[in-house]
Structure 1
Amino acid sequence: MADEQPVPHDRGHELWTVEGGASRKLLASIDRWVNAMVGDDGIDMPLSSRSEQVDATIVARQDGLIVGCAAVDYMLQIWAPSVRISWFAGDGKRVSEGDEIASLSGDRDSLLVIERPILNMLGQLSGIATNAKRWSAIAPKQIACTRKTVWGLMDKWAVHMGGGLSHRLSKTDALMIKENDLASMHQELDSHEHRLVAFLQTVDMAEVGAFLEVEVRTEKEAMMAAMVWAGRKSEGVDRLVIMLDNFTPEACKSVSEQMIEQDLRQHVVLEASGGITFEGLDEWRECGLDVVSTSAINRGVKPMDLSMLAQGL
């Protein structure tokens, strides 16, 4: 990492802490997604029946990182209150192939109906966390997801648990100015570069949220943004996040080196996004960047292979 100061993209504590578990923000997201999942699976009221009691075990079919226990607990509490679960591996715990993750007991009919929603949720979130751990092992405290998600904040929770950076949690969590935003600003000015400069000169930092980020398309735009921001240092502003959009690793390195030469680097956080691959991650993390962001860390990820084995059926 080019800069040892903490980057503002680490917003996972807003969702989950070791001491407090799931935050209200995360629980609200869990509630929304759980309701959608069980509804789509034909469950429209809390499950209960007088069928015989059975026991079941959730087993890992591969090595990985477990995430989603808090969401499953919530699902059962609301939608299958007769089913009880005991966890052998809670959120954030590593498991190996063949490990027992949880034991369940409840009436047969409820357990069979809720089986698939449980495994879907636990498998998807554990798959993302396991993939995030793979990426963050190569680029620790540097790899971030984006707002391109499947399950919103739950995706970001899983990335956080896997050691990745959550980035901004919503559009209003932090202010990011992208090409389309600039196109609608300062329309009296005749170029993207002039609009970028005008915005940075006038933006009120009290209104940006957790951090301010601007997307740039060229090395010139990146340097202009850094120079404008350095000019505001007397105001005590936080570092500006500059996203180098679809830059090559070589171009990212060039920008970082130019900023160092011109004594601008300490005023900014450099982020690259676009075209990031796991196979090329070593090259990206060594080119002077603070953050590498990609949706590949959570989108299109294979769910963790889990099974629920019931006794006596």
Structure 2
Amino acid sequence: MLLMQKVDKIIIEALEEDMNNGDITSDTLINDNQRSKAKLIAKEDGILAGCEIFTRVFDLVDSHIKMNLFFKDGDSVKEQDVIGKLYGPTKSILKCERIALNLLQRLSGIATMTNNFVKEIEDMSVRIVDTRKTTPGLRVLEKYAVRTGGGFNHRFNLSDAVMIKDNHIKAVGSIKMAIEIAKANIPHTMKIEVEVEDLEQLKEALDSKADIIMLDNMSTDMMKEAVILAKGKAIIEASGNVTKDRIKDIAKTGVDIISIGAITHSVKALDISLRFC
């Protein structure tokens, strides 16, 4: 569920960025009394995410714009599907069009890419999760889109959990020392995750009672060994170089979680257009 107060803040900032002093083209060319009808059309197949956000852009600019969407978030659309129709003041529709489409297209692209990964391993007991590799300022929306596509969220931000990565280890001196310091300074309710690059680091993390261990850029053969060593001792997450061609082999190693940065940082926006009719 999205907190609309945060959504509104993102939309308002985007609108201010796009027309800090109005829309010179529409304000010059279009009469205030002119009304138009428009269709929202899918130009390719995909999974929708951000329909409520799309609608909210228009609501915030002009409550006289009427919207009728025929699909909802999580629905599959096909090329040339009419996603919805809208009617209202022409000038207001033109002012909203780009921001509304940008958000809908990007979030639908994330949901679509996530769903493509999820379908590859839908018969296996492993979760696809996102990372913090999100667009600055849009994390709340992009992580929502991941969930819409059938994925799950990793930690939301740096405050959620301890995640000890390679630079933390180098700064402190060792995995063992990093975990000891963390345990001495965090609430007992907070989990500790450690990133490891080989089996020796894995053993050190297990001996130090890490709750979650991330296998960073390991081969599938090494992952299999890691899963055997860690069985019943920690949650195991695979990360790094996760592609659609490779994801089934990663899932078959027995890991619990597969994190994929690409579903937010390397996504292609779903092609959707708004056309007057």
Please report the TM-score for the alignment, with normalisation by the length of structure 2: 0.87
By how many angstroms is 1:69 displaced?
1.2
Equivalent position amino acid for 1:221 in 2:
Q
Deviations 1:2-24 (A, max 9, x none): xxxxxxxxxxxxxx2xxxxx2x2
Tell me which of 279, 285, 296 is aligned to 2:251. Answer: 285
Correspondence 1:242 to 2:227: no
Give the deviation of 1:251 after TM superposition.
1.1
Comparing 97-106 with 155-164, greater Cα deviation is found at: 97-106
- 2:153 is equivalent to residue 152 of structure 1: no
**Residue 301 of structure 1 pairs with residue 267 of structure 2:** yes
**Aligned-pair CA distance for 1:207:** 5.6
User: Relative to structure 1, is the Cα distance of residues 65 and 247 closer, same or farther in structure 2, using a 3 angstrom cutoff?
Assistant: same
In 2 relative to 1, CA 31–177 (structure 1 residues): closer, same or farther, beyond 3 Å?
farther
Q: 1:115 aligns with which of 94, 97, 113?
A: 97
Contact 2:169 2:175 in 1 (8 A): no
Q: How far apart are residue 83 of structure 1 and its match?
A: 1.6
Question: Which residue of structure 2 lines up, in the alignment, with residue 256 of structure 1?
Answer: 227
What is the root-mean-square deviation of aligned Cα atoms in Å?
A: 2.4
SS of match in other structure, 1:206: coil
1:42 paired to 2:22: no
Partner residue, 1:179 = 166
Cα–Cα, structure 1 residues 301 and 193, in superposed 2: closer, same or farther, change >3 Å? Answer: closer
Shift of 1:148: 0.3
Greater CA deviation, 163-172 or 198-207? 198-207
From the superposition, tell whether residues 183 and 84 of structure 1 become closer, same or farther in structure 2 (CA, over 3 Å).
same
Q: List alignment gaps of at least 5 residues for structure 2.
A: none
1:205-251 Cα offsets, whole Å, 9 max, x none, are: 4362xx4311122211212222332xxxxxxxxx8111112222111
Q: Which residue of 2 aligns with 1:89?
A: 71
Which digits, 9 at most, give the CA deviation of each residue in 1:161-191, with x for residues without a partner?
0011111111112221223334444xxxxx4
- 1:260-279 equivalences under 5 Å are 265-279=231-245
- The 1:197/1:59 distance shift into structure 2, 3 A limit, reads closer
Structure 1 gaps of 5+ residues are: 1-15, 17-21, 186-190, 230-238, 260-264
